[in-house]
Amino acid sequence: MTSVTTPANFKELGLITPLLARVTELEYLQPTPIQAQAIPSVLAGRDLIAGANTGSGKTATFALPMLQHIFQQQDADKRLTSKKKQGNYVTGLILVPTRELAKQVADSIKSYAAHLNGAIKTLAVFGGVSVNTQMLALRGGTDILVATPGRLLDLISSNAIKLDLVSTLVLDEADRMLSLGFTEELTALLALLPKKKQILLFSATFPEQVKALTQELLNNPIEIQVQSADASTLVQRVFTVNKGDKTAVVAHLIKQNEWRQALIFVNAKHHCEHLAEKLAKRGITAEVFHGDKGQGERSRVLDGFKAGDIEVLIATDIAARGLDIEKLPVVINFNLPRSPSDYMHRIGRSGRAGEVGLAISLIDHEDYHHFKIIEKKNKIRLEREQVKGFEVAEVSSDSITAAAKPMAKPEGTGKKKRKKKPAINADIWSGYTDPE
């Protein structure tokens, strides 16, 4: 990846005064590594490919230059007066994988634009809510549109928006978009965009699909890789517990440490409610967040959690990506995530933007082998700890081997079975039920 000289403060990045004033107001003392490395080149019009997670400051990396370009262009247009935009234009388009992220990114952009005299119209559109309201809001065009791919295509097919004036495209969490099955939608959308445009692509990981997309789309991009979870600010701990003790341990840890807020991850929607009920019996009020909740409820819960009104949130991996919860002190893996990359996404909710954070994983004997895979893939190695008062009877190597055995395959496949390690994402989770 290209190495670039990195300005140490915002003034050196080339941003206009109203944007500088806003970052000062937000108490951004200095640019994060990705901001320092990318903003000057993005302002100069270069394409960008960035390996960066939420928490790295990537939103400002694309939002500040985008706001600056559009603001300056509006000024130039006013002087020329000749260029009249069509009613359903969009200038800056940001594609994101989830509704929550769409809302969050749009909110950040509006905040960064606070001193641009209301000149820049920013909207978020996503599925799960009425399309009519969004169509109405889009009337007269939009300067910056943050969208999930499916809803954007719906809006295009009903002529509520056209993409032929897009000058900057941001693909945020490109790996996630592709893994969520947005490939066809993305292809359809890309075909509607003008040839000449700036593209900024952000992805936490670079699987083949993302690499292919990058090669096809980007023009001589600058490439930047930043570390996601900053080891100096995020502490990871793993506690071995007895199967059946997890709820008691979570309740004990929350009470003992007096965590102001905690985000607990489980692996299935119904586990959220189940765990909430069990914590309630132990005097801890928790709310739940998962894909079966309506949009209104999801927003209410998330806003409440962000505001600190909800202290304990139990969620599925839908909350693992992208969500920015300021100063979240702790993330707890009640169940381990299926894939090692999801582990990094989950723990990245804490210890963000230089804050001190803590990520705790509770593992019982059935989790040992899977956690080893998570460690290996993420190149980490954590000391197994015990929680005082909840010590594990004995950690035998037999129990580890037993837990590592893949689930029995249906009889009669005819193939001679070879002994092999269970693959991540494979059957070991398919029959998983909450032990408690």
The tokens of 164 are what?
């032929």
Helix %, strand %, coil % of the chain (to 5): 40, 15, 45
Residue closer to ligand AMP, measured from CB, 137 or 353? 353
Residue closer to ligand AMP, measured from CB, 74 or 233? 233
CA 414 to chain centre: 43
Residue closer to ligand AMP, measured from CB, 205 or 242? 205
353 sits near ligand AMP (criterion: CB under 6 A): yes
Q: Which stretch binds ligand AMP (CB under 6 A): 28-36, 242-250, 298-306, 413-421?
A: 28-36
Residue closer to ligand AMP, measured from CB, 172 or 185? 172
User: Hey, what amino acid is at 362?
Assistant: L
The CA distance from 327 to 325, in Å, is 6
Residues 6+ apart with CB under 8 A from 215: none
Contact letters (x/-) for ligand AMP, 29-58, by CB under 6 A? --xx--x------------------xxxxx
At 8, give phi and psi (nearest 5°): -90, -15
349 sits near ligand AMP (criterion: CB under 6 A): no
CB of 101 to ligand AMP, least distance (A): 9
CB of 70 to ligand AMP, least distance (A): 19
Residue closer to ligand AMP, measured from CB, 57 or 340? 57
261 sits near ligand AMP (criterion: CB under 6 A): no
The CA distance from 305 to 104, in Å, is 14
Contact letters (x/-) for ligand AMP, 296-325, by CB under 6 A? ----------------------------x-
CB of 10 to ligand AMP, least distance (A): 8
User: Hey, what amino acid is at 190?
Assistant: L
Residue closer to ligand AMP, measured from CB, 254 or 344? 344
Residue closer to ligand AMP, measured from CB, 54 or 240? 54
CB of 254 to ligand AMP, least distance (A): 24
CB of 322 to ligand AMP, least distance (A): 7
Class of residue 294 by CB neighbours under 10 A (exposed 0-12, middle 13-18, buried 19+): exposed
CB of 328 to ligand AMP, least distance (A): 10
Give Cα separations from 98 to 91, 166, 207 (angstroms).
Answer: 21, 21, 19
Q: Report whether 121 contacts 138 (CB < 8 A).
A: no
Contacts with ligand AMP by CB under 6 A: the residue count is 15
Contact letters (x/-) for ligand AMP, 57-96, by CB under 6 A? xxxx------------------------------------
Residue closer to ligand AMP, measured from CB, 37 or 54? 54
- Closest to 351 (Cα-Cα) out of 5, 75, 55, 28: 55
326 sits near ligand AMP (criterion: CB under 6 A): yes
352 sits near ligand AMP (criterion: CB under 6 A): yes
Task: Give kind and range of the element (H or E) at residue 33.
Answer: helix 33-43
The tokens of 26 are what?
């937000």
CB of 307 to ligand AMP, least distance (A): 14
Residue closer to ligand AMP, measured from CB, 36 or 186? 36
- Residues 84-95 as b/e (b if ≥16 CB within 10 A, e otherwise) read eeeebbbbbbbb
Residue closer to ligand AMP, measured from CB, 58 or 69? 58
Q: Report whether 62 contacts 19 (CB < 8 A).
A: no
The CA distance from 155 to 162, in Å, is 9
- Residues 111-129 as b/e (b if ≥16 CB within 10 A, e otherwise) read ebbeebeeebbbbbbbbee
Residue closer to ligand AMP, measured from CB, 35 or 41? 35
99 sits near ligand AMP (criterion: CB under 6 A): no
Residues in the chain: 436
Q: Report whether 250 contacts 332 (CB < 8 A).
A: yes
Q: Which residue do the tokens 């096809």 mark?
A: 216
Q: Which residue do the tokens 């809510």 mark?
A: 129
The CA distance from 430 to 53, in Å, is 28
Q: Which stretch binds ligand AMP (CB under 6 A): 14-22, 25-33, 37-45, 82-90?
A: 25-33
CB of 88 to ligand AMP, least distance (A): 29
CB of 166 to ligand AMP, least distance (A): 21
CB of 18 to ligand AMP, least distance (A): 17
Q: Which residues sit at the interface with ligand AMP, rule CB under 6 A?
A: 28, 31-32, 35, 54-60, 324, 326, 352-353
